[in-house]
């Protein structure tokens, strides 16, 4: 899987931003978190750890997030970042009672998206790439739910004016999604998932990918 890079490089590619304008903070390895006033926009990517592990570096990021919302710094949390956003604001995160959601799935956008600066141009149903065993069980107070599937009721939400969480992976390409599934084959098989039909169903997700470019535009308009 790592022949394609990792969450940071996938996200930077998806944003379509100038690399010189992006700082990668590796909180897991002890990088200091910047003050909110120093941030034009923030993306918290996916991770190979769980929010409920409550690792010290993850707790520090969760404690940092509210300062960004207070300053109305545009924020996008992806998968782990989506869950951490909810957790940091008093929502509940835990293992999904029905297990892992994996592959390319269709999500349904809710009417609340129509007036939102990030979601309003998206179709009402769109394919997205997913792989997660934890979920936002309860959204934080004041959050606006934006997307769902029959399996996952909280696929996207917004809090405040410009902080979004998405359970799916807009940064994944078809190749990344396939490679991730193959890399996790043993664990998925133990969970009772037949990966052959999952791999067969993977398809392009252009509308989902556009979320990252749109988020970059929102950040640039704020600057």
Residues noted as catalytic: 79, 169, 171
* DSSP three-state, residue 53: helix
Q: Measured between alpha carbons, how far is 78 from 11 in angstroms, rounded to an integer?
A: 10
Indicate if the alpha-carbon torsion angle 106, 112, 118, 122 is positive or negative.
positive
Q: Measured between alpha carbons, how far is 172 from 141 in angstroms, rounded to an integer?
A: 30
**DSSP single-letter state for residue 192:** T
Question: How many beta carbons lie within 10 A of that of residue 13, not counting itself?
Answer: 16
* DSSP three-state, residue 42: strand
Q: Measured between alpha carbons, how far is 78 from 42 in angstroms, rounded to an integer?
A: 11
Q: Show the DSSP H helices in 39-173 as ranges.
A: 56-70, 80-88
Q: Strand 42-44 vs strand 75-78: parallel, antiparallel, or unpaired?
A: parallel
Name which of 112, 118, 110, 115 is nearest 41 in CA terms. 118
Q: Measured between alpha carbons, how far is 18 from 188 in angstroms, rounded to an integer?
A: 36
């Amino acid at each position: 899987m790592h022949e394609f890079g990792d969450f940071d490089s996938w996200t930077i590619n998806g944003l379509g931003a100038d690399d010189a304008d992006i700082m990668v903070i590796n909180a897991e390895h002890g990088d200091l978190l910047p003050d909110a006033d120093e941030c034009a926009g923030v993306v918290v990517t996916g991770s190979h750890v769980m929010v409920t592990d409550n690792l010290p570096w993850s707790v520090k990021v969760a404690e940092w997030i509210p300062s960004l919302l207070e300053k109305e710094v545009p924020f996008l949390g992806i998968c782990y970042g989506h869950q951490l956003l909810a957790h940091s604001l008093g929502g509940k995160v835990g293992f999904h009672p029905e297990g892992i959601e994996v592959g390319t799935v269709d999500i349904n956008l809710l009417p609340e998206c129509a007036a939102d600066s990030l979601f309003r141009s998206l179709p009402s149903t769109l394919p997205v790439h997913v792989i997660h065993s934890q979920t936002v069980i309860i959204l934080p107070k004041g959050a606006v739910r934006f997307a769902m599937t029959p399996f996952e009721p909280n696929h996207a939400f917004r809090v405040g004016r410009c902080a979004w969480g998405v359970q799916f992976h807009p940064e994944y390409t078809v190749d990344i999604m396939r490679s991730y599934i193959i890399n996790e084959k043993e664990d998925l098989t133990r969970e009772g998932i037949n990966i052959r039909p999952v791999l067969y169903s993977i398809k392009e997700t252009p509308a989902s990918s556009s979320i990252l470019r749109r988020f970059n535009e929102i950040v640039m308009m704020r600057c």
